[in-house]
Amino acid sequence: MLSGDGQRTWPIDWEERRKGVGCVACADGRPDRIPNGRRFFSGQVADAYLVSTSRPRGYSIVTWRGRHVAEITELTPTEAGSFLAELTAVCRAVEAVYRPVKLNLMALGNGLPHLHFHVVPRYADDPDPQRPPRFLLSDDELPSIGEEEFAADLASLRGMLGGQQVRSAAAANLRRPIPIVVVTGPPASGKSTLAATIATRLSLPLIAKDGIKERLYEAFGSGDRDWSRWLGRGTYPLIYHFLEIELRAGRSVVVEGTFGPESADAEFAAEHERYPFEALQLYCFAPDDVLLTRYEARAPDRHPGHVDGSITDEVRVQLQANRWRPLSLPGRLVEVDTSSFEALDVDGVVALAAAHVATAEG
């Protein structure tokens, strides 16, 4: 969009760069050094670097180290709270060490569209205190301060911040959302087999609804439909609990279940708020008559706790009501037609999942 009748002046690839394509800050990870700067703070979501130019002393850059965002408005409330808390801690340290009369905070990013703040101390002898910092308006290269003075400043800032470093392996993985694979769809659509195949071939943890529920049957016994439904209510909280464990550790995972959007969308959204992920949702489907035929045929071979043989009519009603629809997840939805298992390109689906999970290494 143009502000008036003028011609575009921004780079032609600007929109792609805003999305993170070719982002240097993401590619570099969490380095101890940047051009003309050394790190003095490593938090859960941010790194702070002291710039070694002679003016103004204490000029620092605080860089967001989570998933790629160009603007602070792209952060979730939880992410924004964490980032601002660490930015504030850095600012307090700069104030304590340098005693400026004012701090200027600027989120520019017009050259590098990855969220970062410039923290600029302003001093009592500032030649132009009512205007933005002059050095940011100039292309002139400023001389560096002496090594001993710079090292002393770094030590003072680190001392004020308690020498904080990255505190967990999960924090190091915050550069981008964690890729996960979610396999969902109605009963008898082949979800369990497909999810297990993906997890096995890609050596990923598998969180599967039936596996958990059957462990509960073994622990508490089988019963009628009401008992099965009661244990089912305990199964899904365990799925989300195990998912959170994997996300907290920064690991990709395969999650499988007959998720109903009416409750699952909110549960997955809450997990994403705590630990951002990017989902490849594989939604398995087939005509209702095919699903019901399979459902009846497999009942004798299933764990008796599922009581599948007695609830075919219930499943038919839920299929007609379209209960098991695709979920609203961050990421990509791929619908997998499982009408014929013989015709299903399992290798192609596994390759798709492999490419998705590989984004964690990109």
pLDDT tens, position by position, 22-71? 999 988 888 999 988 999 999 889 999 999 986 788 999 999 998 899 99
Handedness of CA 31, 34, 40, 41 (dihedral sign): negative
Q: Which long-range contacts (CB under 8 A, 24 or more apart) does 208-213 make?
A: 208/256, 208/257, 209/235, 209/236, 209/239, 209/256, 209/257, 209/258, 210/303, 210/306, 212/238, 212/239, 212/242, 213/305, 213/306
Q: Is the pLDDT of residue 362 over 50?
A: no
- Can you give the pLDDT at residue 282? 97
Q: Is the pLDDT of residue 121 over 50?
A: yes
- Can you give the pLDDT at residue 169? 36
Confidence of residue 297 (pLDDT cuts 50, 70, 90): confident
Contacts of 216 (CB under 8 A, 6+ apart): 231, 234, 235
| Stated pTM of the model | 0.53
Taking the C-alpha atoms of residue 25 and residue 56, their distance in angstroms, rounded to an integer, is 24
- Can you give the pLDDT at residue 359? 73
Taking the C-alpha atoms of residue 125 and residue 112, their distance in angstroms, rounded to an integer, is 31
- Per-residue pLDDT of 300-351, as tens digits, reads 877 776 666 677 788 888 888 888 899 999 999 999 999 998 999 999 999 9
Taking the C-alpha atoms of residue 83 and residue 64, their distance in angstroms, rounded to an integer, is 7
Structural domains of the chain ordered from first start: 14-172 (3.30.428.10), 178-361 (3.40.50.300)
Taking the C-alpha atoms of residue 80 and residue 276, their distance in angstroms, rounded to an integer, is 13
